[in-house]
Structure 1
Amino acid sequence: MIKAVIIDDEINAQSLLEKTLYRHFPNKFNIVEKCNSVDSGVLAIKKHEPELVFLDIQMPEKNGFELFRYFDVVNFEVIFTTAYNQFAIKAIKRSALDYLLKPINHLELSDAVKRFETRNQGSSAQKKLSLLLENLNVNDQNVSKIAFPTLEGFELIHSNQILYCRAESNYCCIKKIDGSLKTASKTLKYVEEILPGKSFQRIHKSYVINLNYVVRYHKANKEVELTNGEKLPVSFRKEEEFINAILQNH
């Protein structure tokens, strides 16, 4: 059984999550404690050493992110629970961590639990949470490292190493400036959302490019040429947006 702790200042939210877990995952979870604050959550984690913590972000006195200040080593996985907060969610996504929007949908919860069961345990949690705390302290354009989910776990890539991203069905192929290719187990739309908006631009339904590596635009052919010599198509619908982005970027 998965030993878990729930940390949420709303008693109703605690109970609903616990009931949902027991209803849809019979004999899979052991909720060892439910806590209503960061401080009580820290005590519960140190006492029970859970494998998984469901952590609310917005709580009075201390928000959920402050929990990690109390641990030198994080050896538990985290699934954040939150009402909509775009900045926090983008930082969570960039760190390859999971979150659930309230009210929690049992299908989304099921997907998050499946990902928890298949991911590597231990040090990966520490790395992802360190990256999260780093991402929370910078603005959108100063983000350097992004954790891209893969079938094996996650791949940490500096955004300035990315030449372009290409859609591959429900996956995304990431082409780096050194010529190597990495496959993210997310859609191009998902990857586009976590890339720094000023440097990256969608030019086609299948491509998002790094504007810093554009050499020229062939207007007649509707093709953009990158520093590695590759030419990628620019769709008619994206052309004006792309040209404006280039002008603003330079």
Structure 2
Amino acid sequence: MIKAVIIDDEINAQSLLEKTLDRYLPNRVNIVAKCNGVDAGVLAIKKHEPDLVFLDIQMPEKNGFELFKYFKVIKFEVIFTTAYDKFGIKAIKRSALDYLLKPINHLELAEAIRKYEKKDEGNSAQRKLSLLLENLNVNDQNVSKIAFPTLEGFELIHTNQILYCKAESNYCRIKKIDSTAKLASKTLKFVEELLPVNSFNRIHKSYVINLNYVVRYNKADKEIELTNGEKLPVSFRKEEEFINAILQDH
């Protein structure tokens, strides 16, 4: 059974999460402590050494992200819970961490627990949370690293190493400037949402490109050429948006 701690300043939210777990995931999760803030949560984690922490983000005294300052080594996994769908969510997604939006849906909760149970041991909480803190400390438009989900776990890639991303059915191939490629186990749309919008642009239903590596645009052929010599198509529907992007920022 998974040993878990809930950290949330709302007593009703604590109770609802515990009841939802009991009802829909019986005998899967044992809640060993419920805390109403970061300080109490730190004490509970050190006392009970849980496998999993359900952590609210927006709390009055200290925000949930501050919890990690109190641990040199993080041995527990985290599922963030929040009513604020924009507060830190991009940084959480970029770090391959799980989150649930309030009010918590029991199906999404079950999926989060399933993912925890199937987690790759190589995807340590320490690595993911270190990446989260790094992503929180940079401007949202200039994210340094993103953790892309793969079939094996996740791949950490600097955004400035990405040349373009290509849709491959329900997967996405990430082409890097060193000519290597990584296959993300998510759709191009999912990957696009992780990328900083000031550097990346969707030019076609199958391609998102890094604007920093565009060498030229052939308007007649509707093709761009990248620094590695590759040529990619620009769709008619995306042409105006693409031209505006390169004229505005480049």
TM-score range, shorter chain: over 0.9
Aligned residue for 1:11? 11
1:109 match: 109
- Listed as ranges, the gaps of 5+ residues in structure 2 are none
- Deviation of residue 219 (structure 1)? 1.1
Query: What residue in structure 1 maps to residue 70 of structure 2?
Result: 70
Count of paired positions: 250
Which runs of structure 2 are paired with 1:195-210 in the superposition (5 Å)? 195-210=195-210
Q: Give the distance between the partners of 1:122 and 1:159, measured in 2 at CA.
A: 22
Greater shift after overlay, 104-113 or 154-163?
104-113
Q: Which residue of 2 aligns with 1:92?
A: 92
1:77–1:121: 8 Å Cα contact kept in structure 2?
Answer: no
How many Å apart are 1:140 and its aligned residue?
A: 2.0
Q: Alignment partner of 2:201: what SS?
A: strand
Name stretches of at least 5 consecutive residues in structure 1 with no aligned partner: none
TM-superposed CA distance for 1:118, in Å, is 1.6
AA aligned to 1:119 is: K
Q: Is the 8 A contact 2:122 2:153 kept in 1?
A: no
Q: Does the 8 Å contact 2:123/2:153 carry over to 1?
A: no
Question: Aligned partner of 1:239: which letter?
Answer: E
Task: Specify the code of the residue in structure 1 equivalent to 2:62.
Answer: K
Identity, in percent, stands at 82
Report the CA distance between 1:249 and its aligned residue.
2.3
Q: Which runs of 4+ in 1 moved over 2 A?
A: 120-123
Query: C-alpha offsets along residues 40-83 of structure 1, whole Å, 9 cap, x if unaligned?
Result: 11111111111110000011101100100110000110000001
Measure the CA separation in 2 of the matches of 1:24 and 1:42. 28
Distance 2:87 2:56 in 1: 15
Counterparts of 1:232 and 1:24, CA distance in 2? 48
Aligned to 1:29: 29
Partner of 1:119: 119
- For residue 129 of structure 1, give the secondary structure of its aligned residue in structure 2: helix
Is contact 2:138-2:144 (8 Å) kept? no
CA contact (8 A) 1:5 1:44 kept: yes
RMSD: 1.3
Match of 2:237 in 1: 237
TM-score with structure 1 length normalisation? Answer: 0.96
Partner of 1:150: 150
